[in-house]
Amino acid sequence: MAATPGLKQLAALGVAVTLHPYAYDPNAAHIGLAAASALGLDPAVTLKCLMVEVDGRPACCVIPSGAQLSMKRVAAAFGGKAAAMMPPAKAERLTGYHVGGISPFGQKKAVPTAFEAAASAAPRVWINAGARGLLLGIAPADALRACGGIAADLLA
């Protein structure tokens, strides 16, 4: 499998990751949960990447695959007043990735990123590597450092 922009960024930073390919199901109701199930991973540490807009500015939220964002907490985490989900087509243009394969690493345009604080406490998490059907395993501290992210309470 070709290296994604996210994998190239992590390699350039010297961040050690493990790769975990799986059979991507485009019809899955919850792609992150389907990935966790396919790989036998705990959904609490299998993270999904959601693109949002805070006061009209793009941002990235990384949360457990079975969780829901609190838009009020997202706005607060990024110092804004209101947050909303970014439309999928806009998220694809901004990140350079396809929905179902969006990674917080190696996005076409770097945006502020927040990881759910509870997931940041785990010894290892699994996040999309930038392609549908490919997760990477990484230490949360390395993930935060690689994308200049913060840990925040983001869940509903």
Residue 82's pLDDT band (cuts 50, 70, 90): very high
Helix (H) or strand (E) holding 35: helix 31-39
Write out the CATH class of domain 5-152.
Answer: alpha beta
| Residue-range domain boundaries for the chain | 5-152
Q: 1 Cβ partners below 8 Å, 6+ apart? A: 19, 21, 131, 134
What are the pLDDT digits (tens) for 49-77?
999 999 999 999 999 999 999 999 999 99
